[in-house]
């Protein structure tokens, strides 16, 4: 402490004593003299405080006092403190978790050199619904385009690899052009292959550890890839990640394990690749796109049969995050709603507490605390609560992030990079302080408006300010409105989810085992023989109800459907080469015509309903002929079944006996097996059957059909899960809010209720009166909420499937659910009010 302040108290006492003596000398009585001296001196506490304040940084000194006092208050009310901190932790934790995802996905730049210059160059394929660039186009751009300093192509590539541990399937990516320069990759061991090299492999650290026991001596050695010798040139560091868009992520849960050189041989020039480039400094996306479009026109002029390209070019970050943005922003807003509800609840509690603390405050004011000082004390307390809640929320957020990454790692691109960094921390502190100010200001205003001197005279119980109660009712109504918006949003998503998962009876995807093979054959006869044998072996194994193979390709440029309005109308369809058991395994049913059988001529096919509709309209396709890659005759029409993607209509699909499959090297074969027991338990037996036929044949992608379907809608499940938890929390908080307000108002009115009952009011009347008060608040909030929901759910239209944003049944269901729970909350509180013994109630005064 400052040396000048050491004797301040003594000095002030001396001063008053001197003044008292002087007054006595002027003829006053000792009592009067002292009173007059004290009056002339003024407020001693305030003088002391102001004098100290001269030497200290005033707010720091007072803050220390306020914090100490506030901490004592919070410790004395552990129940209150726990409720507030938990409520806040919930609200802040959820917001922090969502923000950290937003931060990782939308805000944090890609971890490659010059992320701002990286662009995605796409050529949209309307059938596959994703971007594919012909590798010949890429080669042309790399040779001639001047807008880019670097251009890289990549393409998903599975490869069977034989190591000392046996045959495995490697989930790899073929990369070409300036891939390594664009990603800024440096090898942890060995070297990275150059753009002109072939038959090389660079491993991810995980695969190196897992398959090669991290043996550095193996660098430069040869491994067998797809039956060809390839050199293991190097290993990437553990932290290297492929941050380019991965369209396959929905169906392939594994991370990228290895990188191969992209082969640009003449035979593979039509291969589809994905392209990422780095713009030269000063070149914009529009300029670069214009250059590519000019080049595209030249190519079209030389090759008029080629499909028109559908080029677009955008920032890589935008391409990665773009699809996730609407959902993340909806979730972010929803998180904000939850926090607002939590803050409203806490403000509610603090208002009730402020009313109870009026006496304490009046005493503090009368011993010299200024009103501003008392209000600042209140704000300090609420900030203290907010920061405690924020700290707890941060812990909660860590758990929530881990949970989100675990349950749906591929739902959002770059989700696995989500972490609590400086930005997230700043955000958490900011919303904590913001919330603290918001819910601290309410009680402070209530205090400002209340007559403190009156409080000393009144009994604390009856002194609730009408302002406080009015604000509290309003707050609960707003809570209900916010909860309605969240519940409606979650309800709409739930209904979308339900519609997506509405399978035909008997589909039961959980009992279908799915696995993949990628055998290569010398000729078509060997291919047909292998597939026939495979199907026969699997079908005859025990516990297997049905099994079949499916090899599908997208076939574009089909013309001349009977239903076409013009001759050059082009279609893209799916040609699915299947064994007959496949259709039974995925439970398609016959709609028209007949099934195929082995005795049928080779050109008989089945169509699904989508195909029949697109090709023949309302006409009966059975027996008609159709030209696809060759002429076929339609034997029958089968039902549409969503067995690959849940959130899209099934594509037009033709089922062709697998014997018609041309020799296609390295195309994945899907094996679908319906089992009577646990499908994953049956997997071991099936693996053994396959290994018996060819021990070098890796089996991969082993899963059940329902898991495969679930991962096709992983982003939607993620959104539903997060929004659902928000809505549930909101509902809980809103119910706590209404319960609190009614319980408080009942406690305030115990005396009044006692009088009413003493005067002959029936218990049912009391229940009705109290419940009506609560329901009025709830209904007002609900009306407000539905008005807001009707406007806001439109923003989430892109997240819905098969349901309109203003779906009436969903709104009605939410209204019924929330109304019923509110009624229960009001009613139970009201019942307690009615159980009041009038005599006890009257005596409480």
Partner 1 sequence: MSTEERVELLQGTLDLLILRTLLRGREHGHAIAKAIERNSADVLQVEQGSLYPALHRLLKRGWISAEEGVSENNRRANYYSLTAKGRRQLRLETAKWDKLAQAISRILRTA
* List of residues contacting partner 1 (CB under 8 A): 4-5, 7-8, 11-12, 14-15, 18-19, 22, 40-44, 46-47, 50-51, 53-55
Least separation in angstroms between CB 376 and partner 1 = 19
Q: Which is nearer to partner 1, 195 or 368 (CB)?
A: 368
Distance CA 84, CA 344 (A): 11
Least separation in angstroms between CB 22 and partner 1 = 8
Least separation in angstroms between CB 771 and partner 1 = 56
Which among 720, 653, 707, 699 has a CA at the least distance from the CA of 679?
707
* Those residues with Cβ within 8 angstroms of residue 105's Cβ, 6 or more apart along the chain or in another chain: 320, 321, 324, 328, 412, 413, 414, 415, 418
Q: Which is nearer to partner 1, 49 or 773 (CB)?
A: 49
The encoded tokens of residue 788 equal 């807001």
Q: Which is nearer to partner 1, 47 or 311 (CB)?
A: 47
Could you tell me whether strands 604-608 and 631-638 are parallel, antiparallel, or unpaired per DSSP bridges?
parallel
Counting every residue written for the chain, the total comes to 845
Q: Which is nearer to partner 1, 47 or 784 (CB)?
A: 47
Least separation in angstroms between CB 21 and partner 1 = 9
Least separation in angstroms between CB 38 and partner 1 = 10
Least separation in angstroms between CB 58 and partner 1 = 11
Q: Which is nearer to partner 1, 42 or 434 (CB)?
A: 42
Least separation in angstroms between CB 53 and partner 1 = 7
Distance CA 67, CA 46 (A): 19
H or E, element range at 381: helix 371-407
Buried b (16+ CB within 10 A) or exposed e, 607-631: bbbbbbbbbbeeeebbeeebeeeee
* Those residues with Cβ within 8 angstroms of residue 801's Cβ, 6 or more apart along the chain or in another chain: 496, 497, 499, 500, 647, 716
CA dihedral sign, ordered 104, 105, 110, 114: negative
Q: Which is nearer to partner 1, 1 or 266 (CB)?
A: 1
Which among 312, 316, 285, 496 has a CA at the least distance from the CA of 413?
316
Q: Which is nearer to partner 1, 15 or 461 (CB)?
A: 15
**Cα distance between the two ends of the chain:** 49
The encoded tokens of residue 544 equal 């297997």
Q: Which is nearer to partner 1, 11 or 678 (CB)?
A: 11
Least separation in angstroms between CB 48 and partner 1 = 8
User: DSSP string of 66-79?
Assistant: HHHHHHHHHHH-HH
The encoded tokens of residue 605 equal 């096919």
Q: Which is nearer to partner 1, 14 or 215 (CB)?
A: 14
* Those residues with Cβ within 8 angstroms of residue 195's Cβ, 6 or more apart along the chain or in another chain: 176, 177, 178, 261
Could you tell me whether strands 272-279 and 148-163 are parallel, antiparallel, or unpaired per DSSP bridges?
antiparallel
Least separation in angstroms between CB 25 and partner 1 = 12
Least separation in angstroms between CB 35 and partner 1 = 14
Least separation in angstroms between CB 44 and partner 1 = 7
Distance CA 595, CA 580 (A): 9
Q: Which is nearer to partner 1, 29 or 50 (CB)?
A: 50
Q: Which is nearer to partner 1, 53 or 295 (CB)?
A: 53
Count CB atoms within 10 A of the CB of residue 648.
13
Residues in a beta bridge with 467: none
Q: Which is nearer to partner 1, 372 or 824 (CB)?
A: 372
Q: What are the residue ranges of helices labelled H in 631-713? A: 679-693, 705-712
Least separation in angstroms between CB 46 and partner 1 = 8
Round the CA-based radius of gyration of the chain to a whole number and report it.
37
Distance CA 71, CA 77 (A): 10
Question: What's the longest Cα–Cα distance across the chain?
Answer: 134
């Amino acid at each position: 402490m400052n040396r000048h302040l050491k004797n301040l108290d003594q000095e002030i006492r001396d001063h008053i004593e001197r003044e008292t003596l002087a007054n006595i000398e002027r003829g006053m009585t000792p009592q009067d003299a002292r009173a007059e001296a004290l009056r002339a001196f003024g407020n001693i506490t305030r003088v002391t405080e102001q004098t100290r304040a001269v030497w200290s940084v005033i707010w720091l000194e007072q803050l220390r006092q306020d914090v100490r006092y506030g901490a004592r208050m919070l410790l004395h009310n552990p129940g209150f403190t726990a409720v507030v901190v938990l409520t806040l932790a919930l609200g802040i934790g959820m917001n922090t978790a969502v923000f950290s995802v937003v931060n990782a996905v939308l805000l944090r730049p890609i971890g490659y050199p010059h992320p701002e210059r990286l662009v995605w160059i796409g050529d949209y394929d309307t059938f596959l619904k994703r971007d594919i660039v012909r590798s010949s186009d890429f080669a042309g751009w790399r040779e001639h385009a001047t807008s880019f300093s670097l251009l890289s192509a990549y393409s998903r590539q599975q490869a069977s690899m034989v190591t000392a541990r046996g045959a495995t399937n490697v989930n790899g990516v073929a990369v070409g052009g300036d891939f390594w320069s664009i990603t800024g990759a440096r090898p942890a061991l060995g070297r990275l292959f150059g753009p002109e090299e072939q038959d090389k492999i660079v491993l991810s650290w995980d695969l190196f550890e897992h398959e090669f026991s991290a043996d550095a001596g193996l660098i430069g050695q040869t491994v067998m890839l797809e039956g060809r010798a390839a050199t293991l040139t190097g290993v990437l560091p553990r932290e290297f990640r492929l941050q380019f868009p991965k369209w396959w992520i929905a169906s392939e849960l594994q991370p990228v394990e290895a990188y191969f050189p992209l082969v640009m041989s003449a035979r593979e020039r039509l291969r589809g690749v994905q392209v990422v480039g780095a713009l030269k400094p000063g070149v914009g996306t529009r300029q670069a796109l214009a250059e590519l479009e000019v080049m595209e026109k030249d190519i079209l002029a030389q090759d008029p049969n080629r499909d028109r390209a559908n080029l677009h070019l955008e920032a890589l970050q935008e391409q990665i995050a773009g699809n996730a943005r609407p959902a993340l922003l909806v979730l972010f807003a929803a998180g904000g709603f939850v926090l607002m509800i939590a803050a409203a609840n806490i403000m509610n509690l603090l208002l009730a507490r402020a009313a109870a603390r009026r006496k304490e405050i009046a005493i503090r004011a009368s011993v010299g605390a200024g009103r501003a000082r008392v209000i600042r004390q209140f704000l300090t307390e609420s900030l203290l609560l907010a920061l405690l809640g924020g700290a707890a929320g941060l812990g909660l957020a860590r758990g929530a992030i881990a949970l989100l990454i675990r349950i749906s790692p591929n739902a959002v691109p770059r989700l696995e990079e989500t972490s609590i960094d400086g930005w997230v921390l700043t955000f958490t502190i900011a919303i904590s302080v913001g919330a603290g100010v918001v819910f601290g200001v309410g009680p402070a205003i209530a205090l400002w408006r209340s007559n403190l001197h009156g409080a000393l005279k009144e009994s604390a119980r009856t002194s609730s300010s009408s302002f406080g109660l009015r604000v509290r009712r309003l707050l609960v109504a707003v809570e209900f409105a916010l909860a309605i918006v969240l519940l409606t949003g979650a309800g709409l998503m739930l209904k979308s989810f339900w519609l997506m998962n509405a399978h035909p009876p008997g589909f039961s995807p959980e009992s279908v085992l799915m696995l993949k093979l990628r055998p290569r054959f010398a000729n078509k006869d060997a291919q047909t023989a292998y597939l026939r044998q495979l199907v026969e072996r699997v079908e005859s194994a025990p516990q297997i109800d049905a099994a079949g193979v499916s090899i599908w390709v997208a076939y574009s440029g089909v013309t001349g459907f009977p239903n076409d309005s013009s001759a050059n109308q082009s279609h893209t369809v799916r040609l699915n080469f299947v064994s007959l058991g496949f259709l039974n395994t995925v439970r398609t049913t016959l709609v028209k015509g007949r099934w195929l059988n082995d005795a049928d001529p080779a050109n008989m096919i089945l169509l699904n309903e989508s195909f029949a509709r697109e090709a023949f309209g309302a006409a009966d396709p059975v027996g008609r002929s159709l030209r696809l890659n060759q002429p076929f005759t339609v034997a029958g029409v089968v039902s549409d079944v969503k067995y690959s993607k849940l959130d899209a209509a099934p594509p037009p699909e033709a089922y062709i006996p697998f014997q018609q499959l041309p020799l296609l090297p390295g195309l994945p074969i899907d094996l679908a097996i319906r089992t009577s027991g646990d499908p994953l338990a049956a997997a071991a037996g099936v693996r053994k059957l396959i290994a018996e036929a060819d021990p070098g044949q890796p089996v991969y992608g082993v899963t059940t059909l329902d898991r495969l379907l679930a991962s096709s809608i992983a982003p939607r499940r993620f959104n539903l899960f997060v929004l659902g938890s928000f809505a549930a929390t909101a509902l809980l908080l809103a119910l706590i809010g209404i319960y609190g307000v009614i319980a408080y108002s009942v406690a305030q009115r115990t005396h009044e209720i006692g009088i009413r009952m003493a005067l002959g009011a029936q218990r049912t009347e009391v229940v009705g009166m109290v419940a009506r008060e609560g329901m009025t608040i709830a209904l007002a909030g609900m009306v407000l909420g539905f008005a807001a929901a009707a406007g806001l759910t439109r923003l989430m239209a892109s997240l819905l499937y098969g349901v309109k944003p203003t779906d009436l049944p969903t709104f009605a269901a939410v209204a019924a659910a929330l109304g019923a729970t509110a009624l229960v909350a009001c009613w139970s509180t009201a019942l307690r009010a009615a159980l009041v013994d009038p005599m006890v109630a009257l005596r409480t005064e």
